[in-house]
Structure 1
């Protein structure tokens, strides 16, 4: 699958995997968005190939991250099981669609929506003190849509699911930990679907670098999520979501 891997050439991807996974583990989003943006815009990798490679890496990083969140008691198991099945169904559907159609036309609209969500979370984090947390009412549709957009757009599970659950008033620490834990099963099912649709040729050399960096960083995100105050988490989630989504919109229209 990989021939004559250039170790020096892997260093930029290791750095990207390291940074993206620290952000993803701590805030419940951004690994797929950051990694896919690099592969598509810098290397010119086709969207389906980029998404396939990123999801293969996430099979490993989300597994380690999920275990770490569970050990730090960051997982709401009731929410976990409500997200699991819809997320997997949506992910498989999105992966199948991307292997047959070009989803790039819908991506700017999705990213515009996520940028607005990010601005709202950022504003709420700055203006409002922590309020009483409550259980989310809309969960299963979020899992279905988030899984679909994650596979079809090369990233989006965390931004869609985490941000919308936080808007409903859920506790940031357990929301982030739960969404990260469910993501392992999502990425595994999506990767299997991509293998059937594209074969192992879709997994490029850059995947090795992302994998190394991501695995190094995976255990640390849960520690950050557990120790950072609620208000700071809301501000960071809003800022990361706004910046990454706005950049994706700019890149599509530039």
Structure 2
């Protein structure tokens, strides 16, 4: 019971952070599962199965609050799902730990760029990534998300912000598109892993607590001004990836 309560608390806080800053659910949840000695592939599979429900709730909530940019959503979703499926199949055979430091170094640089730009440039008009860049971003972020147990938001959100997207739209769009990524990753893991290694109670606990937190997170994104969301997200990116690099 104590373990399930711990999972419920982590799932709630992780979704609250992820839905309001566009990242953090996979990283927080995978850290917990790995602490319990769960294998990386099983941990990532557990998280993505839980995220099918939490990302659906998050996507609907962000849509209701007007936080979604539909063009970017369409461009990210299909390549993101393809990358996630490939990443899940890959991780089922090898460990994704070796590439984590390189991804984190890239994200750390983006985080610094976002924070610096937030304090040095004002009144930037939101713009969209090109079609080609959006597709490449989806493939890369989806693959990294599956192999690392999380990372869709941590990669896609800072890239969109660095391209001068409205922070509210960037966070909402990334959160909404993550549903397809979670479904594709789960299918990849289920096709490659033995279902008996998965703990249904853990999955349901993470699902339930995340669903409760999703509407609150979308509401916070709607209310917080862009001049706070941008730097706050950048600082979060820097701290998370410094932590990963120091542990590598």
Output the TM-score relative to the length of structure 1. Answer: 0.92
Q: Structure 1 residue aligned with 2:52, among 56, 59, 69?
A: 59
Alignment counterpart, residue 182 of structure 2, candidates 173, 187, 191? 187
- For 1:19 and 1:126, the matched residues in 2 are separated by 28
Distance in 1 (alpha carbons) for counterparts of 2:194 and 2:217: 32
Question: How far apart, in 2, do the equivalents of 1:239 and 1:33 lie?
Answer: 16
Residue 242 (structure 2) pairs with residue 250 (structure 1):
no
| Aligned residue among 223, 229, 238 for 1:227 | 223
Post-superposition offset of 1:178: 1.1
Contact 1:62 1:181 in 2 (8 A): yes
TM-aligned CA deviation for residue 201 of structure 1: 2.6
The alpha-carbon deviation at position 110 of structure 1 amounts to 1.0
Q: SS of 2:92's equivalent?
A: helix
- RMSD, aligned CA: 1.4
Taking a change above 3 Å as real, the CA distance of residues 202 and 172 of structure 1, as seen in their structure-2 partners, is farther
Q: 2:102 is matched with which residue? A: 109
Tell me how far apart the structure 1 counterparts of residues 189 and 81 of structure 2 sit (CA, whole Å). 13
The match for 1:32 is 26
The aligned length equals 245
**Is the 1:10–1:209 Cα contact (8 Å) retained in structure 2?**
yes
Name the structure 2 match of 1:133: 126
Query: 1:15 maps to which residue?
Result: 9
Q: 1:154 aligns with which of 149, 152, 160?
A: 149
Partner of 2:71: 78
The structural deviation recorded for 1:244 is 1.4
Could you list the structure 1 runs, at least 4 aligned residues long, displaced by more than 4 angstroms after superposition. none
State the Cα deviation string for residues 58-113 of structure 1 (Å, max 9, x = none).
Answer: 10000001011111111111111111111111111100100111211111111122
Residue-by-residue CA offset, 1:203-229 (whole Å, 9 max, x unaligned): 224333322321210111111111111
The answer as to whether partners of 1:10 and 1:208 remain within 8 angstroms in 2 is no
